Amino acid sequence: MSNIGSYEDKIKNFDWSISEKELNYQDGNIINIGWYCSDRICQMGKADKLALQWEGFGGVEKKYTFNDIRLAGNTIGTFLRNLGVKNEDRVCLFMDRIPELYLSFLGVLKIGAVVQPLFSAFGDESLHVRLENAQTRAIITQKKHLSKVRRILDKLPSLEHIIIVDHYTSKPLQDKEVSLNLEKEPPVEEFNIFPTKAESPSVLHYTSGTTGQPKGVKHVHYSLISQYLTTKWVLDLQDNDIYWCTADPGWVTGTSYGIIGPWSLGITQCVLNTGFSAEAWYKFIEKYRITVWYSAPTAIRSLMKAGQEPVRNFNLSSLRHLASVGEPLNAEAVIWSEKVFGIPFLDTYWQTETGSIMITNFPGMKVKPGSMGKSFPGIISTIVDAKTFKPYNEYGKIGLIAFKPGWPAMMRTYWNNDKMFQRKFKNGWYLAGDRASIDKEDYFWFIGRDDDVINTGGHLVSPFEVESALLEHEAVSESAVVAKPDEVNMEVVKAFITLKPGYEASDDLELKIMNFIRKKLSPLAMPQEIEYMDSLPKTRSGKIMRRILHAQEWGEEIGDTSTLEDEE
């Protein structure tokens, strides 16, 4: 059971000072996320508590206590300082989900440098664009990714140090390359942590827009105030929990809630660095007795596709709280998880730019399957008119999701692109770029990206709504819905789908699916065309990239595809 009280209790007289007091932080003090996630936990008497339980391919396991991660952060920080890396230098982490990725995150922050986490599956061109934009000084990587770095090194004069964490042979390294073997490096007990303040830069996450280059989202150490409290209240993490966040730290969820949140609370977390399969995931949950699980709708739908049979083969009784993030969670997935696991996945809404959870289904709150939930305490959220940017004063109207600026984890700017940053604010509101509506109980209902909503004959159709309905058809595994040009209606609905095993693509099936949607939603929402695909384009964090499909339909430039899961 949750021990945090009701949503109504929390929202009364809320102030972020609640978080500051719990963290013993006062305005003007030093605040260093690396210290708060390791040294502070040790000082609280939890030095010997398990911080990280890691499992890789072949069942290889590694365990780290909070004292272990404290020492590792000190050791990595010392190594970087000895190379000449200093505060506010950008240090890229370009690794698979190995322990060194998580430990380096702390080490970089402890010296006041800026962590730049990137997906290890990026190809060299994607890597180059981001390292060049950030003027990155050092990169920490593995042998398997070294060739990508070497191919672009001559185009990156700022990149002075390439640190390889698994170079165990006597094979000579090339210019600028050094080896860091944590197991052989003498652990550093005493370490002078750089005295970062609230507005000192901490993490630089890159996010792709519909057009143009990826944007570097700059966060600061004060973001901890939001991340700590949202982790405690939304994910309901308690001292004896075993936590699993399935997100890669190349994505903001993997840092805000895969490193900072749980470790700032002194929570044991597990990391699985293998490929996805329902059996592997359920086995992992059973083996480590995971209690709180934070995942993504794409993964949940993949588990649904595998059916209920695999669930019966494992003891998942340890699970007590499930949450989802990354894209809207379909009502069907909420109902399915409640049926299969005995508890529902609770949707949470936020962005790279917001840094922490903004709208959420709070533990203990009435769940409305398909809804995003309500504003987190301290977050002022509303729906504004897309032209005037003024809040609507009536329920049910579709508009832009907007937040009143000022929460601790809000991005401070886009790196070297303040003009783009300023465009995110209108009439005193931060615009999230998504459309939604609010019902009479103040629950938010996602409609789609601002440029995704389909206007067919003057009627607005939500791609998400059609996608959700498609997923309820027995043959459909995954779906993506976009607008298709139409001479009469300007736009009509087109659906891209993948089929479940045992179903064959055919005109007859297409007609059945169309009629299924026609009956379930309306003739306007019915797809005028269905295209079968072997797989839908997704980012490595699991989001379906609807904009790529939209661009193909309209003959537009696809834009940045560097976050596609299968791009090398």
DSSP annotation string for 426-462: ETTEEEEEEEEEE-TT--EEEEEETTT-EEETTEEE-
pLDDT per residue as tens digits for the range 303-343? 998 889 899 999 999 999 999 998 788 899 999 999 999 99
Phi-psi region of 95 (alpha: psi -120 to 50; beta: other; left: phi over 0): beta
Burial of 428 (0-12, 13-18, 19+ CB in 10 A): exposed
pLDDT at 146 over 90: yes
Q: At what angle do helices 124-134 and 143-152 cross, to 10 degrees?
A: 70
Which two tokens mark 15? 């102030």
- Phi then psi dihedrals of residue 162, to 5 deg: -115, 110
Full strand arrangement of the beta sheet holding 177-179? 177-179, 161-164, 138-141, 90-94, 114-117, 201-207, 215-220, 413-414
Q: pLDDT: is 50 or 3 the higher one?
A: 50
Cα Rg of the chain, angstroms: 23
Q: At what angle do helices 99-110 and 66-83 cross, to 10 degrees?
A: 60
Name the E strands within 309-408.
321-324, 345-349, 359-360, 374-375, 381-384, 399-403
CA distances, 160 to each of 17, 84, 171, 391 (Å): 41, 10, 21, 49
Domain ranges of the chain: 451-554
Residue in the block written with tokens 């000082």: 43
- Do 403 and 411 contact (CB within 8 A), yes or no? no
State the Cα–Cα distance between residues 108 and 42, nearest whole angstrom. 19
pLDDT per residue as tens digits for the range 85-98? 999 999 999 999 99
Q: Is the dihedral of CA 398, 403, 409, 410 positive or negative?
A: positive
- Do 383 and 392 contact (CB within 8 A), yes or no? yes
Name the E strands within 16-112.
50-55, 61-65, 90-94
The predicted structure's pLDDT at residue 560? 65
State the Cα–Cα distance between residues 96 and 470, nearest whole angstrom. 34
Residue 234 host element (H or E): helix 224-234
pTM of the model: 0.85
Q: Which of 306, 330, 325, 234 is nearest to 4 (CA)?
A: 234
- Are β-strands 114-117 and 321-324 bridged in parallel, bridged antiparallel, or unpaired? unpaired
CA distances, 81 to each of 53, 139, 164, 387 (Å): 28, 14, 16, 50
- Please give the CATH topology (third level) of the domain spanning 451-554: GMP Synthetase; Chain A, domain 3 (3.30.300)
- CA end-to-end span of the chain: 44
The predicted structure's pLDDT at residue 534? 94
Which two tokens mark 167? 């170079």
pLDDT per residue as tens digits for the range 147-172? 999 999 999 999 999 999 998 877 88
Span 354-363, mean pLDDT?
96
Burial of 129 (0-12, 13-18, 19+ CB in 10 A): middle
State the Cα–Cα distance between residues 219 and 204, nearest whole angstrom. 6
The residues pairing with 62 across neighbouring beta strands, listed in sequence order, are 54
> Of 82-91, 248-257, 552-561, which gets the smallest average pLDDT?
552-561
pLDDT interval class at 535 (50, 70, 90): very high
The predicted structure's pLDDT at residue 460? 64
pLDDT at 212 over 60: no
CA distances, 351 to each of 279, 383, 432 (Å): 30, 17, 8
> Of 48-52, 119-123, 221-225, which gets the smallest average pLDDT?
119-123
The predicted structure's pLDDT at residue 211? 44
Nearest 10 degrees: Cα torsion 248, 251, 253, 255: 80
| Residue 219, amino acid | H
